[in-house]
Structure 1
Amino acid sequence: MNRSRAALVLIPLALLTGCGGSTGQADPAGRTTGITGSPSSGVAATGGTGSAPPAVQDPPDAQDSPGARSPQGRTSAPQAPPTGPEPPTSTAAVRVERHPDEPPLVTGVRFAEHGGYDRVVIDFRGDLPGYTVDWVPELVQDGSGEPIDVEGGAYLQVTMLPANAHTESGTPTLTGGPILQAGLGNVRSVVKTGDFEAVVGVGIVLERRAGFRVTEQKQPNRLVIDVAH
Structure 2
Amino acid sequence: MKRTRVALALAPFVLLTGCGLSGGPPSAAPGTTAPTVTATVTVSPSVSSAAPASPDFPGETRLGPPTSTREVTVRRTTDNPPLVLGARFAKHDGFDRVVIDLNGGQPGYSVQWVPRLVQDGSGDPIDAPGGAYLQVTITPANAHGETGSPTWVGGPVFHAGLGNVRSVVKTGDFEAVVGVGIVLDHRAPFRVLEQRNPQRLVIDVAH
Q: Do residues 139 (structure 1) and 117 (structure 2) align?
A: yes
Match 2:63 to one of 80, 85, 99: 85
The CA deviation string for residues 39-71 of structure 1, in whole angstroms up to 9 with x for no partner, is: xxxxxxxxxxxxxxxxxxxxxxxxxxxxxxxxx
Helix, strand or coil: the match of 2:167?
strand
The corresponding residue for 1:176 is 154
| Paired AA for residue 99 in structure 1 | T
Alignment correspondent of 1:107: 85
Instruction: Say what the alpha-carbon RMSD is for the aligned residues.
Output: 1.1
- Given residue 207 of structure 1, which amino acid in structure 2 is its aligned partner? D
- Which residue identity is paired with 1:217? Q
Structure number with higher strand proportion: 2
Query: Which amino acid is the alignment partner of residue 153 of structure 2?
Result: T
In structure 1, C-alpha distance between the alignment counterparts of 2:62 and 2:164, rounded to whole Å: 18
CA distance in 1, matches of 2:124, 2:107: 25
Match of 2:177 among 196, 199, 205: 199
Q: What's the counterpart of residue 153 of structure 1?
A: 131
Aligned residues: 148
Deviation sequence 1:181-228 (CA, Å, 0-9, x none): 000000000000000111000000000000000000000110000000
Distance in 2 (alpha carbons) for counterparts of 1:129 and 1:191: 19
Counterpart-to-counterpart distance in 2, 1:177 and 1:169? 20
In the alignment, does 2:205 pair up with 1:223? no
Query: Looking at CA atoms only, which structure, 1 or 2, has the larger radius of gyration?
Result: 1
C-alpha separation between the residues in 2 aligned to 1:171 and 1:147?
Answer: 24
1:15-62 alpha-carbon deviations (Å, 9 max, x no partner):
xxxxxxxxxxxxxxxxxxxxxxxxxxxxxxxxxxxxxxxxxxxxxxxx
Amino acid of the structure 2 residue aligned with 1:115: D
Cα distance in structure 2, aligned partners of 1:198 and 1:224: 20
Change (3 A) 1:83 1:217: closer
Q: 1:185 aligns with which of 156, 159, 163?
A: 163
Letter in 1 for 2:104: G
- Segments of 5+ residues of structure 1 without an aligned counterpart are 1-81
TM-score by length of 1: 0.63
Identity of aligned residues (%): 71
- Deviation >3 Å, runs of 4+: none
**TM-score, normalization: structure 2?**
0.70
Q: Does 1:129 align with 2:107?
A: yes
Say if 2:60 is the partner of 1:94: no
State how far apart, in whole Å, the 2-side matches of 1:180 and 1:92 are.
25
